[in-house]
Structure 1
């Protein structure tokens, strides 16, 4: 089943986040999210699930020297990395905290963002209520999340593609359909949702897609979970590594106002 075309070792989490952030796709949607935040000088902006601080500098530039940026993440290693990377940004602070119970007073911030975070949390609805709590009236939240149920990978045997996507949806991502659910969940948390933007990136290069999707690693796990046989997985990976490649997944940017 093993293909030399794809990665087999799981990358370091911070290195993986850095790698994804460096792609043209990531730069494009992050820029769109920043535009939708409509940050003004002097405001307080939150990056919830900030990871190693990838987006903190752009938020700091937007709020200017008169504003404040607060990054929050639940993982100490990424908090340490974010603090080190923003040590020269005097408007930025990074805190260890849980998005379900933010270490912030009520009505702290004017703007907040989450980027591929809510797909992983235990209770997205609770997280959204907590974000609503810390935003001031008239504040804005911009969220970016994929809907993994829309993942499409071309293969001559469409049943293999369906089995692979089903495994990703069932087992790999905790809240795999969060992209389509965000407007409903945000409304339930007290937000108005004036805008939903759907972006569907298309991958034509198998190796580039693998750096984001982890095609072989995920296939191996799908075999172990009984979604694919060894023989089927071999056929699947052989075609992906040698044939014309196409994959796509829909990514939603949802704008919510408190």
Structure 2
């Protein structure tokens, strides 16, 4: 891994699959599936399914009598998802925007939306769509980061703080949606059953750089004039030397549809 800036944005499908395969990704996803209490015969909706990261696990839990609907608006992501689930007859993949879900009202028993609300135009409108799609008694799992809590250890603390501010204000559309999940869920008509905060910790420089976009986002912050080039480049180069630490808060909310 280069210790200088200039790392290009990774292929999104590969990025998502790698992140899900790492320890922190596997742990929170397993917990989410357990909290959703998936059962044989359920119809499950995965909004923003991406390259189909979670579709096989969902299909396994609902069995041959169940149904898994994956929705995403990115054709390239969906192509990967279709390849990964080609042998799974219970998986139905649909191209659509999360603000206009292609699902009949009150037909979904379980739904999940994982690290998607931070990117959409209106999280509230997407949750309203989920409320329409789910049956009374359905469970809905929501997972989002709170990027305001991003902490990167460096000798230059002020540049670390500037990097977090830049991430929150310029890189991610709804960077603090994680802390608002419970509020948004209640406003959409759901009842909050569980709220959990976990802290993914990165102690490997390459892993942290890949997942958190440290190099590419710092390069962008410098190019846009938000961080001084000399300080930004020295900050990034210094992260690769000695023990590395970075973390953020990931919020999981499971709610029910009355």
Q: Would you say same fold, with TM above 0.5?
A: yes
State the 1:95 CA deviation: 0.3
State the 1:4 CA deviation: 3.1
Match of 2:45 in 1: 46
Match of 2:121 in 1: 122
Is the 1:194–1:255 Cα contact (8 Å) retained in structure 2?
yes
State the 1:6 CA deviation: 7.0
Residue pairs, 1:80-229, within 5 angstroms: 80-229=79-228
TM-score for the superposition, normalised by structure 2: 0.96
Q: Does 1:9 align with 2:5?
A: no
State the 1:144 CA deviation: 1.1
Structure 1's consecutive aligned runs of 4 or more residues displaced over 6 angstroms after TM superposition are: none
Distance 1:205 1:6, change over 3 A: farther
State the 1:136 CA deviation: 0.1
Query: RMSD of aligned C-alpha atoms?
Result: 1.4
Is the 1:153–1:246 Cα contact (8 Å) retained in structure 2?
yes
Q: What do residues 137-193 of structure 1 show as CA deviations (whole Å, max 9, x unaligned)?
A: 010100111100000011122111110000000010001001001100111000001
Q: What do residues 24-52 of structure 1 show as CA deviations (whole Å, max 9, x unaligned)?
A: 11111110110111011111001110011
State the 1:3 CA deviation: 5.0
CA distance in 1, matches of 2:66, 2:119: 29
Residue pairs, 1:32-71, within 5 angstroms: 32-71=31-70
Partner SS for 1:195? strand
CA distance in 2, matches of 1:89, 1:246: 40
Runs of at least 5 residues in structure 1 that lack an aligned partner in the other structure = none
Partner SS for 1:242? coil
Distance 1:73 1:52, change over 3 A: same
CA distance in 2, matches of 1:204, 1:188: 38
Decide which moves more: 222-231 or 67-76.
Answer: 222-231
Q: Does 1:248 align with 2:247?
A: yes
State the 1:244 CA deviation: 2.2
Is the 1:7–1:214 Cα contact (8 Å) retained in structure 2?
no
Name the count of aligned residue pairs: 257
TM-score for the superposition, normalised by structure 1: 0.96
CA distance in 2, matches of 1:223, 1:3: 18
CA distance in 1, matches of 2:105, 2:143: 24
Is the 2:6–2:219 Cα contact (8 Å) retained in structure 1?
no
State the 1:211 CA deviation: 1.5
Partner SS for 1:121? coil
Is the 2:71–2:93 Cα contact (8 Å) retained in structure 1?
yes
Partner SS for 1:231? helix
Match of 1:236 in 2: 235
